[in-house]
Structure formats: structure tokens, C-alpha cells
Structure 1
């Protein structure tokens, strides 16, 4: 271990850069769909040694050396973890293939500045002993929190997700949330770095043993928290999730509207395999995001077809673009990415408009939009000017269902943000269209993050995805029913009941703030108690 640590610490030039990139890329193996927890140690332990090496680097300045190592580490992590974004540029390759390098390499290059900041901040608090683990956990979690909030935020594959996939380990999110898991993941993943320290065995083995004990305690807490029996179901609710597995290509075109509609209707009226003839009829049918290549609320023929599909008392909850009436002087109204509720008469009872849009996917800043059009190019969505964000987050009311916290697509990756003000909802609904990314790790990562929201909030999750993964998840993160990625079909399931709001849902960021302060105080105290090596 000492030889390995010395090789990383003393590496210079391209060797140091390559080691940093490989270490970061290894961390992506801890994310879905692989979820290899040991990869976290293979990634974060060398990261500590890289910062150790920056302390010795006096040619460029130790802060700059740490930041550069952090940038290369982050570039490896995001390229290996987000390469699948390139699939979206190949859906309409004739128009967007030119932008593929910007998505596969450009976005990771920008995101890498966050761990670069984290490494530099850790260097400011660095000390040769165990204190550097606290400095590292504080600084890297702070950088991850910033990544999730600045510039509209992008907390995809936050390091805490390495612990947020296992049923028992993820239960700690009910206490500390995603970023609290990030503190724990960073500290435990970096702990083996101390095995290469000088001094007695107690100093070398203390942190790794404590890290192992912490993971064991988390697993024990999870095993205690998750009940042995299924939760009771909400009375009078029977869900049917329709997963059409419709490709995001030329087939999803206004010219195919009737064929698409017939596909939805036929699937929704079918009965999944394995369900007996006397199974309860669905009370609510759910269709995914972007279900229609047309405006449903302005299509009376299709609304009539939905009315014919729905038995009395049944409701459809579906993703659908909608448009406001144009204001005086406007040619077209504003477009919204929405969820609409339709009754058995074909009447739209209400809707939820998406608040947190995907930059460059659902909208482009106006000055860039004008530039793109001047170059003869267009944005991803076939919507003039892109979608508009809703100004406020509201509870979605669906007759027969408890109050709904609605999320569309990647809104579900933002901890706590999707919860509306006012009385606590009793259900998280996530409709999405991951067809852009095919059978890549992207849809698995998306589902895992939405699943963790159920644990944080103590609410069941109903997730309907065009190509999968569609599922019903209980408030403990247990998947009670699901359809796999790439399958066409319907899923009938009961709705698990909500549980009392866990600590994270009640306290918000209080636990994270306390954990960060503890790490900062410990790092500074241990830094001041030991002589510094410059």
C-alpha cells in the first residue's frame, strides 16, 4: 500500500494526470447500473494521495496542483458516468451528430470544475494525519452541493448515490438525505488512504476500521428500519402504468398521431401476463412524459378516444405538452411540459406544469436560441422557442388519489425541490421519457435517483417511463412492481401508503449542515494539532 501511495503521490506530468483521470473514472463504476461499492475506494483513496502530492508540488503552487488533479479526476468521473448522453445526439443524427463531442466531453469538462474546487478547498484544510479525511469529506461534499444548485443545478450521480442503491444502506437517506450520504461516502471511501501512513498500526488502521464499522452500522440501521411485511395499500386505488416503449425517432411524429394513439389505447386496455381474470380493475391509468406528438388539449378526437377507453370513475394521468392562448400581438402562446388529468368524459380536470426544465434540452437561453437559428440549426424539442417553466410548484389533484407531488423527467433528481408548499403530499409521481438514451446506464441512474426520493420523503413513488424503468416503489425504497427497460406492456399495482415524514423530510438541510460543520471543525482542529508539511 505504501508503494502504491508513493507512486501516486510522487507522480508528475502526464502520469499524474492519467492517474487522476483513471481514479475518477473508477468512481463511475459505483453508480448504477453496476453499483460496485468497492469502486468508491478505488476512486477516492487515490484522490487523497493526489492531494498529498499537491502539497509537495511547489513549482505551480499546491492549490493549483490540487485543483488540476481535481479537474482531471472529475473529468474522468463524468466522462465514464455520463457518456450515454451522446445517445441523444444520435436520435436525429443528421441534425445533431455534430454536437455529440460537446455532450460527451464538453459537459464533463465543465462539471469537472466542481471537484477541482473541492480538491483545492480540501488542500486549504489539509494535514498529514486523519484530519485530511475530514477536510476531504467537507470539501468534496461542498462541491457536490454546489454542483446540485448552481447554474440551475445538476446533481446527477452525486457521490452519495454509491450508498443510495442498496436497500439497507439507502435508509440513512431518511436521516441525512443525498448530500448527507455524500459526506459518508466520501469519508468512508477515502479512509483506506491512511493505510499508507507512517507510524503505529493503530494510526494506520483506525480510520479504515471506523469506516467499515460505519458502513456496518448503516446497514444495521437499514435492516432495522425496513419492515418485514409489505405496507398497507391505499384503499380504493388500483394503478395501471402503460409503458409503450416508443422510440424517440421519426416514428414519434405528428404524422403518426393516430398509430401512436391506437398503440396507447390498445396497451392500456390489455391485461398484463400473470393477472387473473378477477383482478381488480384499474382506477387510474398513467401514461409517460411526452406521450403525444401533438397538443392533446386541442385534440377533441383523441380526447373522445380516451373517454371511450376509460370506464366510469376511471382517470387518466398523462404527460402532454400544452399551450396557453397567445397574448395580443403574439403568434403562438407559451408551451409547457405538463401532466394532465383526464376523466371518463374526456375532460381535462387539471394539470401540473414542469418547473425545472432541462437546459439546452427543453429550452435554450434566448440569445443562444437566436444564434442557433441564425446558423440554420435548431434545438432538441420541436417547440417554437422551447418550453416555458412554471412559475410555482403546486400539488396535483387527481380524483381518487391522495395529494400528488408531481415531477416530470429529471425534476426527480433534485432532493426536496419537487415538494410543493402547504400540506404534505402522500405520493410522488414521476413521468419521464428516457427513450433519448436507449439501453444505456442513463435510465438506470435516473430510476435509482427517483427511488431515493421516496426514502428521503417517506412517500411512495409511482414512476411511468416511455421505455422504462416504470415502477411502483414504497416509502422504504422497495420496488413493489416494475417493468424492465426496453419492454412494452402495462403494469397493474396497488399504491403503498405513505409513512410519517422521516427526519430528512422534516429537517431539510439541517443534518447536512451539522455534518459539514463537524467535518470542518475536526479538519481544522486536527490541522492545528500537527506540524504542517509544506
Structure 2
């Protein structure tokens, strides 16, 4: 392909092509735009005068791709605009600059092999390995993997995401990249991609029809969504009113959950959940507040999100497990912190929220009476494939979060999509309780059981479905997608070598 542009015009075209490609992510799911955008980058890389030029093209494309995909980060700055006004133009573009090299590397290296399918395999394999490597960037930032573009809402999405039980979202990323590029190679390749897509979806439908849940009875849950604006959480000007709102919603939710447990759940226990940072104080130091919560819960167990301090002056973002009388049964401290938000990397002396948090020790399992075997998480941690479960597999995963930072944008929807993918990968129900939404429950196959939309104050009640047997991905983790990416790279090298004989 001969490019009609050069210089700044080509750079602008690449940035725009990357930005348009990001429309493939939730909640738009415009997958054909990703296929077109990747084709443009791929052809530009092939036509580049050198490997360095190809890398530069990949960088520009990746900058547009990640800026558009992370545009909602600007909303987080707006919550503290009087303090961080200077960061408004830097939030999404700045993060995108850090992530852009991940698309520059495959654009440059794919030229090392022969054109055609070997080059596509090498491009997709290197991209996938780089995408998996994002977990090691600062505390990790594996947001918006291309595999998440298959998480369409409804039945079609349920079919398409089932292979994640074997290959995870990273393996799905590899498949999406291959499909998006091979479809343009020739009519024969396009037909092959179409056939694989039909078989892929058919396999998902077959799997959903042949699931065998484990004989585990989990509680009925009352997920409280307070819909508190982030400004009120930070300023705590209406802390008493917010606390009373949560108490009222807890009374309502526990009563509804108890009715469902009695009518449909054969006397299941009831568990109420408050989202991340919902308690406006330090819950472990406020015995009166815990008693008030216990009174509102009327004998139910609960999980409450709250900050926590220790004797050494360190602060944690925590989830507290509470007994029916308000006694603290256990505490989980968020172990993976948000870079630039909850902590500042040492080489960047900037933080975008007041204070610096201390990380906890990592995934745990709670086995308290009435809870079921639950794996608690806080917000950001649910985005990490293969790292949401510790030494003992839980019966279900609970993620409490506060997505008020990001407003009514793609951010909360993309966050929810990651929770859905973790359910399929691990084969366990995933519950996400968000302050402003979206609060939702997924079964172990990623099917939505119930949801409460963004920007609504209310309670979501449901009987938790049973977990599925441990998945292949749950046993082997990211070793499988890594092996698949390396296989693509090896096949590309072999195919290129044979063509040169």
C-alpha cells in the first residue's frame, strides 16, 4: 500500500485511526472499527521506510487508541479540579503516552518476517505478549485488552466469552487480533475467519447448555448502591446524611433479600454489602456506627467498605466483614493500588487524590458462617486476569468499588466488563457492588443474574448462583495464552523461513 500522507498528516491519520478503533470497547462494541483501524496500522507498518518509522507509526496509533479508550480518566480530575486543574489535559493523553509503546513494538518487529499470514501471526503474538506484560507496569494496568471487545451484552456476548474459561481474556485478545487482520488477507482467509467465528460462538452456546454447577449453597445478597457523588465522599460535608442513607437502604435490602431467601432460597443466609469507601470514617474505630449498622441489618451479616488506619500511621482501602452484632470478623486490605491515584510512583512526585495508601497482602478467602467461601476484592483489583484468587479457590468473588470518580462514562461499563470476564475465567459467580453503579451479579459463566444501573440509589437483591467446577484457566492461569502467543511467533518464523527457501 502506498500511503497518501506523510509527516504530520500521517501522524494525525494514525492517531485518529487509533481513537476510532477504541469504539470497539464497551459500551459501544463497534468491533468492525477495530478491524479497520488495525488494518490501517498494519499497512502503514508494512509501508514504512524502516523499523524505526514503523515503531513511530505504532506509537501514534497507540496514543490515539489509548487516549480515546481512557478518556473517562478526565472525570476523576474534575472531582478535584480546584486542586488539579493543571492535570486536566494530561490524564488520558499522559497515560496513553505510557501505553503507546505496546503497539509500537509489534508494528516494528512484524516486518522481520515474510508478508502475509506469517507477518500477521508475528504481529498478533507480540502484541498479545505485550498486553499481558502490562500487569508489570507500575502496579499494573491491563485495562481494555482487545479480547474484551467480544463481551457484547446479552446472549451473543455470553456465547462469545466462553472460551475465556480455557484461554482467558489474553487468549481472546490474540484471537481478536488474528481475526481482525487475517480477514483482510484474501477471500479465503476471510471465509476462514467467518467459519471460526461461527464455531467459536457455537462452542459457547454448547458450553452454556451443558454446565454442571457444584452443590454449593450461597447466600442471598443485598447490594447497597448509595449513589453518593465523589465530591461528597472526599469532602464529607454530608457524612451523617450519607450514613443514614446507607442505613435506610440496608433495612430495605435485608428485608427484600430475606423474603427471597425464604420464598425461593430454602432459608439461605442473608448478606448485605456496602461499596468501597461507603462508610465516611474509620469503621474499625467507630463501635457506635457498627452497632447502628447491625441494628439496620436486623441479624444479617455484612461487608462494608471503609478506610482503615494502623498504629504506624499507615492507611488502607479496606473491606470489613461484619457479624450480625457488628463485630468485625475479618478485614481485607486492597493489595493492588492505582498508580497516580492511590500512590505516586517514585519517579513521578504527583498524586491525584489526597493521601497515599498502603497495599495489603493479596487475595484471601473468607469462610465466615453465612458468607459462603468468598474472595473479597476492592475496585481496581478485579481487572487482573489470573490474579484474583489466592491459594484457596473461593465459591464466589466480591468486588466493592467506587466508580463515582469516572462519572456517567465508559469507565464504569468497562470496569464491569472486567468483572464479567473474571467470572468466566474462574468459573465462580462475581458480584460487583458500586457506589454509583453499575452494580451487578454474574454467574460462573459470565451471564448477568441481576443489575442496577448507573446513577441510581437503591438495593439489588438476588440469590447467588452456585459456582462451577474449576476451569482450565483457573488451574493454569496465563501460561496458556502465553504459550499460544509464543506458538504464533514460532509459526511466523517457521513460515517465513520456508517461504525464503
The TM-score, its normalising length taken from structure 1, stands at 0.87
Which sections of structure 1, spanning at least 5 residues, go unmatched?
Answer: 1-5, 195-203, 327-332, 373-378
Match of 2:376 in 1: 406
Q: Specify the SS of the correspondent of 1:83.
A: coil
1:246 counterpart (221, 224, 228): 228
- Matched residue SS, 2:209: coil
Other-structure match for 1:466: 435
Shift of the alpha carbon at 1:517?
Answer: 2.5
Does 2:272 correspond to 1:290?
A: no
Deviations 1:185-210 (A, max 9, x none): 1000111332xxxxxxxxx2222222
| Alpha carbons 1:462, 1:473 under 8 Å: kept | yes
Is 1:44 aligned with 2:38? yes
Aligned pairs for 1:91-110 within 5 A: 91-110=79-98
Counterpart check, 1:67 vs 2:37: no
Q: Does 1:175 align with 2:156?
A: no
Find 1:188's aligned residue among 170, 179, 183.
Answer: 179
Query: 1:317 maps to which residue?
Result: 303
C-alpha displacement at 1:66, in angstroms?
A: 1.0
Task: Describe the superposition over 1:66-88 as per-residue Cα deviations: whole angstroms up to 9, x where unpaired.
Answer: 10011011011011111110001
Q: Deviations over 1:1-47 (max 9, x none)?
A: xxxxx354x64222322232222112211100011221221121222
- CA–CA distance in 2 between the matches of 1:392 and 1:128? 45
Could you tell me whether the CA contact under 8 Å between 1:272 and 1:490 is conserved in 2?
no
Which 5+ residue runs of structure 2 have no aligned equivalent?
A: 263-268
Residues 45 and 191 in structure 1, CA contact (< 8 A), matched pair in contact too = no
1:531 positional shift: 4.8
Partner of 2:403: 434
| Residue aligned with 2:238, SS | helix
Q: Which protein has the larger Cα radius of gyration, Structure 1 or Structure 2?
A: 1
Separation of aligned partners in 2, 1:155 and 1:261 = 34
Aligned twin of 2:266: none
Alpha-carbon deviation of 1:319? 1.1
Aligned partner of 1:84 among 60, 72, 77? 72
Q: Which residue of 2 aligns with 1:375?
A: none
Q: Are 2:237 and 1:259 aligned?
A: no
Given that 2:252 and 2:459 are in contact with CA atoms closer than 8 Å, whether structure 1 keeps it comes out as yes
Name the CA distance, whole Å, in 2 between partners of 1:405 and 1:276.
21
1:140 Cα shift? 1.3
- Greater shift after overlay, 521-530 or 440-449? 521-530
Shift of 1:436: 0.5
Q: Secondary structure at the match of 2:330?
A: strand
When residues 276 and 15 of structure 1 are mapped into structure 2, their CA distance, relative to the original with a 3 A threshold, is closer
**1:108-131 deviation per Cα after TM superposition (whole angstroms, max 9, x unaligned):** 11210111122122223x322221
> Aligned equivalents of 2:248 and 2:215: distance in 1?
27
Match of 2:137 in 1: 150
Alpha carbons 1:122, 1:140 under 8 Å: kept: no
Counterpart selection for 1:478 from 442, 447, 451: 447
- Determine if the alignment matches structure 1 residue 494 to structure 2 residue 494: no
How far has the Cα of 1:403 moved from its partner?
Answer: 1.7
Say which SS state the counterpart of residue 530 (structure 1) adopts: helix
**Counterpart of 1:140?**
127
Q: Structure 1 residues 299, 405: closer, same or farther in 2, change over 3 A?
A: same
Moved more, 172-181 or 243-252: 243-252
Q: CA RMSD in A?
A: 2.3
Q: 1:232 to 1:262 in 2, by over 3 A?
A: farther
**CA shift in 2, pair 1:171/1:277, >3 Å:** closer
Aligned residues: 491
Change beyond 3 A, Cα 1:167–1:92: same
Q: Is the 8 A contact 1:352 1:396 kept in 2?
A: no
Q: TM-score, normalised by structure 2?
A: 0.93
Q: Deviations over 1:356-391 (max 9, x none)?
A: 00011111246755xx5xxxxxx44443xx110113
Query: Mapping of 1:331-350 within 5 angstroms?
Result: 333-350=313-330
Map of 1:224 onto structure 2: 206
Q: In 1, are the aligned partners of 2:218 and 2:465 still within 8 Å (CA)?
A: no
Partner-residue secondary structure (3-state), 2:318: strand
Q: Say if 2:475 is the partner of 1:522.
A: no
The alignment partner of 2:325 has SS state of: coil
Partner of 1:206, secondary structure, is helix
Instruction: Determine if contact 1:234/1:495 at 8 Å carries over to the other structure.
Output: no
Change (3 A) 1:425 1:524: same
Q: 1:22 to 1:395 in 2, by over 3 A?
A: same
Distance 1:63 1:75 in 2: 18
Three-state SS of the structure 2 residue aligned to 1:468 is coil
Secondary structure of 1:429's partner?
Answer: strand
- Cα pair 1:244 1:466 within 8 Å, conserved: yes
User: Is the CA contact (8 Å cut-off) linking 2:73 and 2:406 kept in structure 1?
Assistant: yes
Query: In 1, distance between residues paired with 2:218 and 2:55?
Result: 56
